[in-house]
Amino acid sequence: MTLRMPPILIYALRRLLQAIPVVVLIMIGTFLLLKLAPGDTVDALVGDMGGADAAFIARLRAEYGLDQPIWVQLWRYMTKLATFDFGWSFVYEQPVSTVLMDRLGTTLLLMAASLSIAFTAGITLGAIAARRAYSVTDNLISILGLVFYATPSFFLSLMLMLVFSVKLGWLPVGGIKTIAAFYTGWDHVWDVARHLIMPTAALSLIYLAFYLRLMRASVMEVADLDYVRTARAKGAREGRLMIHHIMRNALLPVITLLGLQFSTVLGGSIVVETIFTLPGLGQLAYQSVVQRDMNTLMGIIFLCAIIVVVVNFLTDLLYARLDSRIELA
Amino acid sequence: MTLADAQIAPPEPPRHVMFWRRYKRNRAAVLGLVLFAVVVLMALSAGVIDPGDPLRRAGEPLTPPFVNWQTPLGTDQLGRDVMSGVFYGARISLLIGVVATLVAIVIGVVIGALAGYFGGWVDDLLMRITEAFQTIPNFVLLLALVAIMGSKIEWITLAIGIVSWTAPARMVRAEFMSLRGREFVDAARNLGVSNTSIIFREILPNALPPIVVYASVIMALSILMESALAFLALGDPNYASWGNMIGQGRAVLRSAPYCAVIPGIAIIFTVLSFSLLGEGLNDALNPRQKK
């Protein structure tokens, strides 16, 4: 049987199959972490009830399958994870998946905003720096990049707060919206955007520095290639040369980095969300560490891993689409 | 190079002289070295120049900087000396940075070397594990490890090492894959040298330069991670740490911003010094690489 499939689909399928062992390993990893953590579900339950006798505890353990051999427990845990059932959160008194889904939107919004700003500004500044290599402009941009790279996001957040909230009073210090205002429509959008300005800036600057440096190196490399000289000899204007000829190829390594770094950005959102009290996954991760809510924490790890796998999959597809040298089949 | 050139060329100066010549060509890298030396001096002289425990009351709470010479950089809301905190913080940051980097490099080298040298299923298995570690956001995993192991400084350092080894592992693997087919490896194998010796004595020294350069990046990232943990009050409370000082300075941001600004500047300069050092090392160790 020969099924004719477009090569891009076959490529996509193969990439998906490759992701499966990684996801399975992460499942095993979170299970091990849960087992390593002091106390189990029953301890949490009993603690919640304020104590119980030994026979009752043993019966609870049997009910939750905690008296089973470790392989059986692992298998049960993995089948539950596969259906996005992360267990019960004893802090929020809700299934972990419900708590996570409540928070996911805020985090994704923050991610999308930060990464698009970091990407756009990073490639623009990087391209400018590369075109004027070793000039004053280039040096200024490069120094700016180094400083952004060295500034921890929590310090940057505090400094932004100090300037724009405390001194100037322009922007709100935290939260995702003005609580008692009940804005609707565009007022609501504007309100949320105003709350997101500082967190987005704090999270994006360090990644902006990464993209800037990579883009600068990449543009300088591509600008030396023969086909660029041909285009210039043909009479292409500098602007057209940059946008149509150089940028397209120079962007490829930057897009790879975008996919690779997505997981780091998710990690960085923990600090930023906690400082600006944004109700997202990052803040939830911090709270669950403080409150020892291991089920929620493992749920976050697994969900983040899935998001990263999906994003990497999408960047791979994008990359394959952009770089025709990649053989799909 | 022709034969004539080779005869005219003066004898090459010793290796460390060449190294230093290449290094100092990069002016920013020299600045990085100076900054680094300042941080090291601060770490070494903590408690020698500046008196006193950074966690003990040294003067009136919230004395601004440059007012009282007992506490030149001021005191925080509990009357603790900010300058003393910065000095002791340098010690902790460097200590955690160095040890965590060593942990990460050792794990990375072992895993990368095994995967790159043996290939086949060993490579497949180890690379899937590496990918799994890369997929989980570093800082989330770090929080989970700290939640499980506790906030003692040894555990925090180990945990930072555990979340940072993937990049060096990939680099070592790539180097090993390109080196394992070379003649000197074949020669060693034909002489009956064991796999362990080939990996650690023959190939590893050749694979090290890019790893040394990357170590400066891991060092910078480790210091940033430690300070972020301490900022969130998840660090070891028994040691002064820049991140912790900034976290506490947050409470008095309105009235005494210097409590957070001074340690923040210390972090920026330290991380900056490592980035610049790394660039200089890269110029000095990989001179063939295109600029």
Residue B1 — very low, low, confident or very high, per pLDDT cuts 50/70/90?
Answer: very low
**Minimal C-alpha gap between B148 and chain A (Å):** 5
One-letter amino acid identity for A55? A
pLDDT at A200: 92
**Minimal C-alpha gap between B3 and chain A (Å):** 32
pLDDT at A329: 46
> Where are the domains positioned within chain A?
8-83, 97-322
Q: Do A166 and B254 touch (CB under 8 A)?
A: yes
Percentage of chain B modeled with pLDDT above 70: 91
Residue B223 — very low, low, confident or very high, per pLDDT cuts 50/70/90?
Answer: very high
Mean pLDDT (10-residue bins), chain A, 329 residues? 69 84 88 80 72 78 76 83 80 84 89 91 90 84 88 89 84 75 76 85 89 88 85 83 82 82 85 90 89 85 89 84 66
pLDDT at A327: 61
User: Which residues 214-253 of chain B have a CB within 8 Å of chain A?
Assistant: 220, 224, 227-228, 231-232, 234, 243, 246-247, 249-250, 253
**ipTM of the complex model:** 0.84
Structure tokens at A214: 């990579």
Chain A residues inside the 8 Å CB shell of B231? 152, 154, 271
Of residues A99 and B76, more confidently modeled: A99
Chain B residues inside the 8 Å CB shell of A297? 143-144, 147
Q: Do A301 and B144 touch (CB under 8 A)?
A: yes
Burial (CB < 10 A; 0-12, 13-18, 19+), residue A69, is: exposed
Can you give A193-250 as a three-state secondary structure string? HHHHHHHHHHHHHHHHHHHHHHHHHHHHHHHCCHHHHHHHHCCCCHHHHHHHHHHHHH
CA B91 – CA B40 distance, rounded (Å):
8
CA B13 – CA A171 distance, rounded (Å):
60
Of residues A267 and B77, more confidently modeled: A267
Burial (CB < 10 A; 0-12, 13-18, 19+), residue A191, is: middle
Structure tokens at A10: 């076959």
**Minimal C-alpha gap between B261 and chain A (Å):** 8
CA B90 – CA A237 distance, rounded (Å):
52
Task: Give the nearest partner residue to A270 out of B131, B143, B264, using CB atoms.
Answer: B143
* Of B228, B211, B227, residue with least CA distance to B169: B211
CA B126 – CA B263 distance, rounded (Å):
40
pLDDT at B112: 92
Q: Do B137 and A153 touch (CB under 8 A)?
A: no
Q: Do A152 and B141 touch (CB under 8 A)?
A: no
Asked if B138 has any chain A CB less than 8 Å from its own CB, the reply is yes
Transcribe B92-134 into DSSP letters: HHHHHHHHHHHHHHHHHHHHHHHHHHH-HHHHHHHHHHHHHHH
Mean pLDDT score of chain B: 84
Chain B residues inside the 8 Å CB shell of A38? 148
In the block, residue with structure tokens 């987005």: A200
Range name among B56-70, B127-141, B198-212 with the lowest pLDDT average: B56-70
Q: Which secondary-structure segment (H or E) carries A108?
A: helix A96-131
Interior CA angle at B273 toward B47 and B248, to 5°?
A: 55
pLDDT at A294: 83
Report DSSP state, residue A162. I
Is residue B99 pLDDT above 90, yes or no?
yes
Q: Do A150 and B271 touch (CB under 8 A)?
A: yes
Would you state the CATH architecture of domain B92-248?
Orthogonal Bundle (1.10)
* Of A195, A207, A212, A211, residue with least CA distance to A110: A195
Q: Do A152 and B250 touch (CB under 8 A)?
A: no
Chain A residues inside the 8 Å CB shell of B97? none
Task: Give the nearest partner residue to A26 out of B136, B220, B275, using CB atoms.
Answer: B136
CA B147 – CA A38 distance, rounded (Å):
9
Question: Residue B180 CB: number of other CB atoms within 10 A?
Answer: 19
Chain B residues inside the 8 Å CB shell of A37? 147-148
pLDDT at B9: 62
Task: Give the nearest partner residue to B148 out of A33, A260, A274, using CB atoms.
Answer: A33
**Minimal C-alpha gap between B203 and chain A (Å):** 28
CA A274 – CA A286 distance, rounded (Å):
7
Q: Do B147 and A153 touch (CB under 8 A)?
A: no
Task: Give the nearest partner residue to A162 out of B148, B243, B253, using CB atoms.
Answer: B253
Is residue B12 pLDDT above 80, yes or no?
no
CA B75 – CA B278 distance, rounded (Å):
35
Chain B residues inside the 8 Å CB shell of A162? 253, 257
Is residue B103 pLDDT above 90, yes or no?
yes
Helix, strand or coil, per DSSP, at residue B68: strand
Is residue B66 pLDDT above 80, yes or no?
no
Fold entry, domain A97-322: MetI-like fold (1.10.3720)
Is residue B291 pLDDT above 60, yes or no?
no
Q: Do A298 and B246 touch (CB under 8 A)?
A: no
User: In sequence order, what are the beta bridge partners of B57?
Assistant: B80
Chain A residues inside the 8 Å CB shell of B143? 270, 285-286, 289, 297
Q: Do B228 and A152 touch (CB under 8 A)?
A: yes
